[in-house]
Chains A and B, each alone.
Chain A
Amino acid sequence: MKISPSIFIIRFFLASFALLLTTGLALPALAGEIGLTARVDKNEISLEEHIQLSLTVTGVMNAPEPQLPPLPDFRIRSSSTSSSTQIVNGQMKVSVTYIYQLIPLKTGSFIIEPAILKLAGVTYQTKPVAITVSYPDPNSPTTKSPAYVETFISNANPYVNEQVIYTFRLYRRVEAKNLDLKMAYEDSKFRKQSMGDAKIYSRTINGVQYKVHELSAALYPIHAGKVEIPPAILKLDLIDRSRNSRGRNPFSSFFDDSFFGSRATLVHKTLRSQPIPVRVRPLPKEGRPRNFANIVGDLTISANIGKKELEVGDTTTLTVTVKGPGSVKDLSLSLPEIAEQFKIYPDQPESQLSVRENTLNGEKVFKFALVPLKEGYKTIPPIAFSYFDPAAKKYLTLETIPIALTILPAHDKENLNIAESFQSKVPGSKNSVQILGEDILPIHTKLSDFENNLLSESNYFLFAGGMVVPPVLFFLFTGYVRYNQRLRYDTAFVRNRKAFKLANQKLKLLSASAESNPREFVKQLSAIFREYIGNKLNLQGKAITSLEVERKLMDRHYPQEQAAITRTLLEKYDSLQYAPPNDSKNNDNLMDESLNLLNQLEKQA
């Protein structure tokens, strides 16, 4: 039996609907009760690790996110969601898991209180979870962690103001990113001086090669007593590159290449060092010199003079340098009593720091410009300062050696110019011109400059003219350009502009020709006049009727009276062509009448 296409399509849809209905009836029902559970991946962790807390909602689809309990002892770094659907024996199990990464902030035992989920008026909650956070095991970090940190100081029993080198080291076996280091210290108990950027080098420990990042700073204890340098905290992301397993694949060796990529994940870590106890010793009172100014270190002093033989009024520079590991930045020096023999101009001291063998060395340079006041043999006595040497455990006084100078009489016995800068006396530099007096510059004598300026401010008319004339000229020029363009492209405009002139010329010719035939005279006069009208109105003037002319003129806003007179004249031309006047006087009258009307029309135009 043959089935028509329309019946086939109907049957197909019916069959599909029936199939959908039967399969729909067989859909699995949601199985199980609604529940909320909490799970952690480990209960005991160190400060350097983190916990993964998973909250799973079962038995309901599209469940809202459970409400986390307050977690003051942890920092929630990230969260994610996963869902699963299982159909077993026609029973469908759905679950949604919310995953949180918790980073401990301190050590101790903590309880993660129940998380809560409110659904259709029913409250579901998890069971409490106990967590223990401890310090990382300092004895065997290398065997466990891909990265660990340590801090140490150069001296655990320093004196007040003695330099202590505080060093932080990061050891890592894997790549690391986003390093954020906090080397905390109490600024009320230490003064800190940076020692430059971190050094990076390799070191092998127990056969394992580590990259080491080392950063140092110089600390100067401010007070005596027990102090603790808190743990340094380094936050970083370690890159875990675990390759895809292709072990049994014959092509695995081929694909086991970095070109084909490997799975890299970032593992966030917070690494902490151990706190370091420091016992700061006070500086001894015994033997403390009167001029002691809290300078502690291992220092040296030296002095040199620019020139040892000079004249009265001449300048030389005394340079005193104090250097060595220690707090030289705070050092100040003054010259002994030589003010009666020399004018002294102290320069601003310059200090600089340098790192040598993991020690911060300071150098401070004092410069004094000395101008001898009297001739003779003079000696600059030793310049001294006292400091405390922690290695020798006693106060020491450093002195420069005395410097002998020969002061000659001034060459020309001039008065001493005490304002002269010692820098200008650098050998090889030019002497500046000595100013003996001051005066004003002379008057102006060029007479032409006294004439009024070409444009004085009083010429407002000219300024106004200069302002206005260019735009006026421009607009005239623009009008001229447009006029020329119309002449070139606008035929109606050209006809209109030339109509009167052309008509006048032709009328003069007609008058001069003294046409004897009145009929011909009227005919030509009519043609000239109609041509004028045609040109003015951009019409084919010779073919239009007098009524059309009247109407067109009125359309162009000519006065009604003029339009009527024009029509009358044109009709007169027509009638005279058939009944011409016999005498020339009539021709003249007609000519005058035409000219008169022509002039009126032109004026009106």
Chain B
Amino acid sequence: MNPRTLVFPFIFCFLTLWTLFPGSARGDDVLSQIALANGYYAKSQYQEAANIYQGLIDRGKKNGYLFYNLGNTYLRLGKTGPSILNYIRAKRFLPRDESLDTNLSYAILKTQDQLEPPSTSGLSSLFFWVNNFTKTEQLVFFEIINLFFWVVLGIWIVRRTGFWNLTRKTMMAFLFISVLSVGVKIVLESESTTGVILAKTIEVKSASGAENVTLFELHEGSVVSIIDHKNDWYQIELNDGKRGWAQKEFIGI
């Protein structure tokens, strides 16, 4: 079969895939719910607003601004734990949002322990830009670079000039960096799980089990790293290296 006959179906399929956006989650109903919740918030009816925001999230709606608004609402309700938890969730989607950073810092200052989110690891220090972009942004960047790379490679096949050779190599370097960035982001997200204490006070034990020695206490809103889990217990670590076990039901992740 003539290869020319194969090209057009592929282009058609490709374009069709891209024109399928946006996804099924789009809906006026969701937006009207958010508008309603925003209105409640403006009228200081924070509990009603929180119920709507939380309901949307429970139904699978994941959006950075939704988490941010819910964080604000919980903070207005005096619930620093859920507030900080939702700010941290929002940060996954809005890594460069200054309002979010400001409110998160403010919320942490309101806690008794004032524990900051876990500091960056060696890998994220090396790939310093990774923390400033979401995984989706990095995937999109990779897709664009991937497309450009193959286009340039195609042009280079028919026009083997110095310029296109240089462009090809440059795109290859970008492609390599973007693949590496996505990989590092996936590794970092899978390795580090941040948890927030939701109860007023919890006892952190030396091992998983209520009968063990209480090492220290944590209070609502403390941010910890989850490093292991066993049955109903999480092993947690603080920024200063302290470790212990806490019950899962008191920690939001």
Taking Cβ atoms with an 8 Å cutoff, the residues of A that contact B are 438-447, 449-459, 461-463, 465-467, 469-474, 476-481, 483
Could you tell me the distance between the alpha carbons of A603 and B27 in the complex, rounded to whole angstroms? 54
B136 at the interface (CB under 8 A from A): yes
B103 touches A440 (CB 8 A): yes
Q: Is the CB of B63 within 8 A of A450?
A: yes
User: Given B13, B22, B41, which contacts A452 in the complex, CB threshold below 8 Å?
Assistant: B22
Q: What residues on B are CB-neighbors of A453 within 8 Å?
A: 63, 93, 136
Please encode chain B, from 61 to 103, with 1 for each CB lying within 8 Å of some chain A CB and 0 for all others.
0110110110011010000000000000000010000010011
Do A456 and B136 touch (CB < 8 A)? yes
Docked pose: A447 CA to B30 CA in angstroms? 10
Interface centre among A462, A465, A470 (most CB of B within 10 A): A470
Cβ contacts under 8 Å, A439 to chain B: 106
Complex contact B7–A450 (CB within 8 A): no
Q: How far is the CA of A400 from the CA of B25 in the complex (A)?
A: 79
Residue in B closest to A443 when the chains form the complex, CB atoms: B69
Whole-angstrom CA separation of A111 from B93 in the bound complex: 87
Q: Please tell me which one of the listed residues B38, B63, B99 contacts residue A441 in the complex, with CB atoms under 8 A apart.
A: B99
A-B contact pairs, 12 of them (CB 8 A): A440-B107, A441-B103, A442-B72, A443-B69, A443-B72, A449-B63, A457-B139, A459-B23, A476-B3, A477-B7, A480-B4, A481-B158
User: Closest CB-CB distance, B180 to chain A, in whole Å?
Assistant: 15
Whether B17 contacts A462 by the Cβ 8 Å rule is: yes
Query: Smallest distance from the beta carbon of B101 to chain A beta carbons, Å?
Result: 10
From B10, B63, B65, B143, contact of A467 by CB (8 A)? B143
Chain A residues with CB under 8 Å of B140's CB are 454-455
**Of the candidates A449, A456, A466, A472, which one forms a contact with B25 in the assembled complex, judged by CB atoms under 8 Å apart?**
A456
Interface status of B153 (Cβ within 8 A of chain A): yes
Whether B210 sits at the interface, judged by CB under 8 Å, is: no
- State whether the Cβ of B146 lies closer than 8 Å to any Cβ in chain A: yes
> Which of A441, A462, A472 is packed against the most chain B CB atoms within 10 Å?
A441
Is B21 part of the binding interface, using a Cβ–Cβ cutoff of 8 Å?
Answer: yes
Given contacts A457-B136, A473-B154, 15 further A-B contacts (CB under 8 A): A440-B107, A441-B103, A446-B65, A447-B31, A450-B30, A453-B93, A456-B23, A456-B25, A462-B17, A462-B18, A463-B143, A469-B17, A470-B150, A472-B10, A479-B3
Query: Is B34's CB under 8 angstroms from A447's CB?
Result: yes
Which of B10, B35, B135 meets A473, CB within 8 Å?
A: B10
Segment 187-239 of B: residues with Cβ below 8 Å from A: none
Against A, the Cβ 8 Å flags (1 = close, 0 = not) of B122-153 are 00000000000001100110110011011101
- Residues A470 and B149 in contact, CB atoms below 8 Å apart: yes
Q: Which 8 A-B pairs have the closest CB atoms?
A: A470-B150, A466-B143, A444-B65, A441-B99, A443-B69, A479-B3, A452-B25, A474-B150
A449 in contact with B154 given A455-B136, A469-B14 (CB within 8 Å): no
- Nearest CB of chain A from residue B193's CB, rounded to whole Å: 17
Instruction: Find out whether the CB atom of B3 lies under 8 angstroms from the CB atom of A480.
Output: yes
Nearest-neighbour CB distance to chain B for A498, whole angstroms, equals: 13
B121 contacts the other chain (Cβ, under 8 Å)?
A: no
Min distance, Cβ A284 to any Cβ of chain B, angstroms: 54
- A452-B22, A459-B23, A466-B146 known; A447-B6 Cβ under 8 A: no
CB distance from A264 to the nearest CB of B (A): 55
A489 to chain B, nearest CB (A): 15
Contacts of A451 in B (CB 8 A): 22, 26, 31, 63
User: Cα distance A469–B106 when bound, in Å?
Assistant: 46
Distance A184 CA – B66 CA, assembled complex (angstroms): 73
Q: A456-B23, A456-B25 are in contact. Are A466 and B157 (CB under 8 A)?
A: no
Q: Which residues of B contact A469 (CB under 8 A)?
A: 10, 13-14, 17
Contacts of A449 in B (CB 8 A): 63, 65
Q: Are B3 and A456 in contact (CB under 8 A)?
A: no
Contact B143 A473 (CB under 8 A): no
Q: Is the CB of A477 within 8 A of B63?
A: no
List residues of B (25-64) whose CB comes within 8 Å of A's CBs.
Answer: 25-26, 30-31, 34-35, 38, 41, 62-63
Q: Are A471 and B150 in contact (CB under 8 A)?
A: yes
Assuming the contacts A457-B135, A476-B3, asked whether A450 and B65 have C-beta atoms less than 8 A apart, the reply is yes
Docked Cα-Cα span, A445 to B41, in Å, equals 11
By the criterion CB–CB under 8 Å, are B66 and A450 in contact?
Answer: yes
Tell me the bound Cα distance from A315 to B102 in angstroms: 32
Interchain CA distance A453-B33 in the complex, whole Å: 18
Let me know if A455 and B139 touch, CB within 8 A.
yes
Q: Are A441 and B2 in contact (CB under 8 A)?
A: no
| A70 CB to nearest chain B CB (Å) | 55
Once bound together, how far apart are the Cα atoms of A463 and B20, in whole Å? 13
A-chain residues with CB within 8 Å of residue B11 when the two chains form the complex: 473
* CB pair A440 B35 closer than 8 Å: no
Task: Say whether, besides A450-B31, A462-B17, A473-B7, A443 and B68 are in contact (CB < 8 Å).
Answer: yes
| Interfacial chain B residues near A474, Cβ < 8 Å | 150, 153-154
Cβ-defined contact, B106 with A473, below 8 A: no
Q: Enumerate chain A residues within 8 angstroms of B147, measured Cβ to Cβ.
A: 466, 470
- The listed residue (A443, A458, A478) touching B154 by CB distance below 8 A is A478
B154/A452 in contact, CB under 8 A:
no
Q: How far does the alpha carbon of A479 sit from the alpha carbon of B4 in the complex, in Å?
A: 9
Among the listed A444, A452, A473, A481, which residue makes an inter-chain contact with B14, where contact means beta carbons less than 8 Å apart? A473
Given contacts A444-B68, A474-B154, contact A483 B146 (CB under 8 A): no
Assembled-state Cα–Cα distance A547/B217 (Å): 99
Decide if A465 touches B62 in the complex (CB within 8 Å). no
Please give me the residue from chain A that is nearest to B150 by CB atom. A470
Expressed in whole angstroms, the minimum distance between the Cβ of B196 and any Cβ of chain A is: 17
Q: Is the CB of A438 within 8 A of B3?
A: no
A470 and B151 in contact, given A455-B140, A480-B3 (Cβ under 8 angstroms):
yes
**Shortest distance in angstroms between B131's beta carbon and chain A's nearest beta carbon?**
17
Decide if B154 touches A477 in the complex (CB within 8 Å): yes
Residue of B nearest to A463 (CB): B139
Q: Which B residue's beta carbon lies closest to that of A460?
A: B139
Which A-chain residue is minimally distant from B104 (CB atoms)?
A440
CB nearest neighbor in A for B151: A470
Residue of chain A at shortest CB distance from B33: A450
What residues of chain A lie closer than 8 Å to B102, measured between beta carbons? 440-441
A478 to B153, CA, bound (A): 10
